[in-house]
Amino acid sequence: MNAKTWARVQKYTELQGTSGQEQTIRKAFRDELLPLVNDIKQDGLGGVFGVKNNSDLHAPRVMFAAHMDEVGFIVNQCIA
């Protein structure tokens, strides 16, 4: 993995994003995505979608998907 890709992975994994509190991650992602797409859409669940238009109606469509939230609890004792 090159340094630029690793820096992006590190950036997003270190942002606070507990379930229901993904605003920081969503904003950072939108800011980074904006120069690369023609339009950004957001659904009712907070999913962010970048749309890149192509004049060729038969051009392939590609989608990348990932979760923005993280587990919001810590197990500190396990009783068997």
47 and 5 in contact (C-beta within 8 Å)?
A: no
- Among 25, 2, 1, smallest CA distance to 14 is for 25
Mean pLDDT in residue range 48-69:
88
Taking residue 62's Cβ as centre, other Cβ atoms within 10 Å add up to: 6
Q: Looking at beta carbons, which pairs linking 4-11 to residues 24 or more positions away fall under 8 Å?
A: none
Please report, as a single letter, which amino acid is at residue 4.
Answer: K
Domain boundaries, the chain: 1-80
pLDDT of residue 65: 78
pTM tops 0.85? no
pLDDT tens readout for residues 2-55: 999 999 889 988 888 888 888 999 999 999 999 999 999 999 888 899 999 999
